[in-house]
Amino acid sequence: MRRLQLLLVQILLLLLLVEFGMTLVSDVQWAKYKARYKKRYRSDDNYHRAILTRRVQAVANHNRLYSQGKVGFRMGVTEFSDTDQGLLLRYRTAVTPPPESSIGYVAKPPGYRNYDQITGGIDWRQYGYISAVENQGTDCLSCWAFSASGALEAHLARKHSRLVPLSPKHLVDCVPEPNDGCFGGWVSVAFNYTRDHGIATKASYPYEAKQGTCRWNPQLKASALRGYVTLNNYDERELAEVVYNIGPVAVSIDHLHEEFNAYSGGILRIPACRSERINLTHSVLVVGFGTDPNWGAYWLIKNSYGTEWGESGYFRLARNANNMCGVASLPQYPLV
């Protein structure tokens, strides 16, 4: 039955390609794509080839608009271009848990600048506080672990003037419910776990795109944070102040859009993006912000899709654009 369903989907996709005059991906192109991203399919790969063909055409159509100056970002073929969003859609049903042990207000540090006093922007990468971009893998929804560990290591690096990359795999394997390893989780729960149990370094607990048995030794506890702050005002100005004065912030966004998965550079705007917390499906790390001379204000955000995606693993999301994709709906940062 499953094979028959796949065959019907393949036929429908191929008919659509013919109807809209799309050129099929050649055998050589298809072989190169599979080799580049190490693709292996359990079923007939014509199904995935048809999806890739449709998306190649969508990318071409979009980039034509970009070349005409009508949109501010480019799209490209990525490791997500050959598959539907079935795995990612499972995260859509998740409900954000209440932020436990969150501190709602923290005294402003000396020299704190209010939004109206900030000129230009900031990029915390320039200070050496941001670790290298990694790839969570297409079969593991571990973005929450990368976002949480990335925020924590950045704040510790600022405090101690030394960057020590931390282990998202430790969090994937060990953080208990309501987080669920490679099937999704929340930054707040990861922060609470780290407060109570500490976190391993990346070197001692390297990443694999799968969930395994927890290998953390509680006797090695080295608590790395004392709590965390959740910004509850849905306010991009407040978020900019915190990023500028205190450091990188973990945020969650609505990312289940082809524009996001195929993003390859520029200032990302997705008209269909939503900002309600229930629709936030992907956790990332805001490491700065700035202003583009042509397309305006943006957030500089670290993703966990590897360096071949986006701008060497980063993306710039439109800022002061009505809370684009919910970037200011659930910002959280650790207290170290």
Q: For 278-315, what is each residue's pLDDT tens digit?
A: 999 999 999 999 999 999 999 999 999 999 999 999 99
Helices (H), the chain: 2-19, 27-36, 46-67, 86-89, 143-160, 168-174, 187-197, 236-245, 258-261
Nearest in space to 315 (alpha carbons), one of 112, 86, 78: 78
| Consecutive H or E run containing 122 | strand 122-123
Specify the 3-state DSSP secondary structure of 305: strand
- Classify the C-alpha dihedral 314-317-320-324 as positive or negative: negative
Res 97: pLDDT: 66
197 assigned to active site: no
Distance (Å, rounded) from C-alpha 301 to C-alpha 22?
Answer: 34
Res 217: pLDDT: 83
Shared-domain flag, residues 150 and 15 = no
Shared-domain flag, residues 223 and 260 = yes
Q: Are 125 and 287 in contact (CB under 8 A)?
A: yes
In a domain, 81, yes or no: no
Q: Residue 10 pLDDT > 90, yes or no?
A: no
Distance (Å, rounded) from C-alpha 76 to C-alpha 222?
Answer: 42
CA dihedral angle for residue 37, residue 42, residue 44, residue 49, rounded to 10 degrees: -20
Which of 22, 37, 71 terminates a domain? The answer is 71
> Pairing mode, if any, of strands 263-268 and 314-318?
parallel
Report, in this order, helix, strand and coil percent for the chain, each rounded to 5. 35, 15, 45
In a domain, 76, yes or no: no
Mean of pLDDT values over 223-230: 86
Res 44: pLDDT: 74
Q: Per the residue annotation, which of 155, 174, 282, 323 is the catalytic one? A: 282
Shared-domain flag, residues 221 and 305 = yes
Find where tokens 């609505």 sit. Answer: 254
Give one DSSP letter per residue of 145-181, joined into a string.
Answer: HHHHHHHHHHHHHHHHT----B-HHHHHHH--TT--T
In a domain, 283, yes or no: yes
Q: Is the backbone of residue 288 left (phi > 0), alpha (psi -120 to 50) or beta? A: left
282 assigned to active site: yes
Shared-domain flag, residues 187 and 275 = yes
In a domain, 281, yes or no: yes
Shared-domain flag, residues 10 and 121 = no
Shared-domain flag, residues 134 and 280 = yes
Domain boundaries, position 286: 87-335
Q: Per the residue annotation, which of 179, 279, 303, 323 is the catalytic one? A: 303
User: pLDDT tens digits, residue range 45-84?
Assistant: 788 888 899 989 999 999 999 999 999 999 999 888 887 6
In a domain, 80, yes or no: no
> Which residues does residue 75 pair with via DSSP β-bridges, in sequence order?
263
Shared-domain flag, residues 7 and 49 = yes
Distance (Å, rounded) from C-alpha 264 to C-alpha 214?
Answer: 35
In the chain, how many domains are there?
2
Write down the mean pLDDT value for the chain.
87
Between 21 and 60, name the one with better pLDDT. 60
Q: Residue 12 pLDDT > 70, yes or no?
A: no
Question: The CATH number of the domain where 328 resides is what?
Answer: 3.90.70.10
Find where tokens 């799309």 sit. Answer: 22
Res 109: pLDDT: 86
Of 72-86, 188-202, 269-283, 322-336, which gets the smallest average pLDDT? 72-86
Res 5: pLDDT: 44
Nearest in space to 203 (alpha carbons), one of 233, 230, 167, 234: 167
The answer, as to whether pTM is greater than 0.75, is: yes
Q: Per the residue annotation, which of 143, 182, 273, 325 is the catalytic one? A: 143
Nearest in space to 78 (alpha carbons), one of 217, 255, 269, 329: 255
